[in-house]
Amino acid sequence: MTNTRFLLLPLFVGAMSMFAGCASVNGAVYEPQYAAGANEPQSSERMVIKSASLEIEVEDILSATDSLNQLVKTQSGYVESSNGSDDKARFLSIRIPQQQFESLLQGMGSLGKIKTQRISSRDVTDSLVDYQAKLNNQIVLRDRMRALLDKANKIDDILVLEKELARLQTEIDRLTALQKNLQQQVAMSAVDVTLEKKVQLGPLGYVGYGIYWAISKLFVIE
């Protein structure tokens, strides 16, 4: 009975390899394995993506834009995009090192009146650990597949292994891109700033505002 089990074991492993993405050449069985420690975080430090959006009312958009560019430059950041007009409003998309994130936001107050400010954060530590574990596993699979390819001597086996190698490399490239994208977002925080020109009321504007103020007081007890 024991001998029968041993004889059936290779057949069982071969069948399971079809579902686990395994390959066999000349009797050698290739099974996926996770790299040691791949499921454990590389560091206890949490990886957090920080971002912010602000609307600032300024006296002069052109001057405020120049001041903002200088502020960003001193914080080792850069303006990713800028569009709008210098007479009504201008929108700027900024990238700033996360270490300078708070400092930049504090400096925004010197540009004008901050009308709105929204700050958000997203912890991507688990996603990065997951990507790294999958990436390590795919690299192990690719390297073992290459070893099998070096030993293959049948055309059919070579074609199968080369196809699988191409698939694995595509997955490695995809995971690497996803990982780098998250790492870049963690390292460089995104700050969106809208500069709005302060509205200057003319004579009729002040009259209208005075009427509005007087009417609003009719509905206020205190």
Q: How does pLDDT run across 20-40, given as a tens digit for each residue?
A: 344 444 444 334 443 444 444
Instruction: Please give the pLDDT value at position 209.
Output: 53
CA 130, distance to chain mean position in Å, is: 14
**Structure tokens belonging to residue 215:** 């009417």
For residue 28, give both structure tokens: 């050698």
Cβ 131 vs Cβ 47: under 8 Å: no
pLDDT tens, position by position, 176-193? 999 999 999 999 999 999
Cα distances from 93 to residues 53, 110, 192, 211, in angstroms, run: 9, 18, 5, 39
pLDDT grade, residue 221 (50/70/90)? Answer: low
pLDDT of residue 215: 62
94 and 77 Cβ atoms separated by less than 8 Å: yes
State how far Cα 4 lies from the chain centre: 53
Token reading at 20: 């686990």
For residue 16 the two structure tokens come to 């399971």
Which pLDDT belongs to residue 3? Answer: 42
Selection from 63, 108, 99 nearest residue 189 by Cα: 99
pTM of the model: 0.68
Q: Return mean pLDDT, the chain.
A: 80
- CA dist., res. 107 & res. 93, Å (int): 16
Task: List the one residue out of 56, 96, 62 whose CA is nearest residue 79.
Answer: 96
What pLDDT does residue 6 have?
35
Q: What pLDDT, on the 0 to 100 scale, is given for residue 85?
A: 82
- Cite the DSSP H helix spans in 108-202: 125-151, 155-187
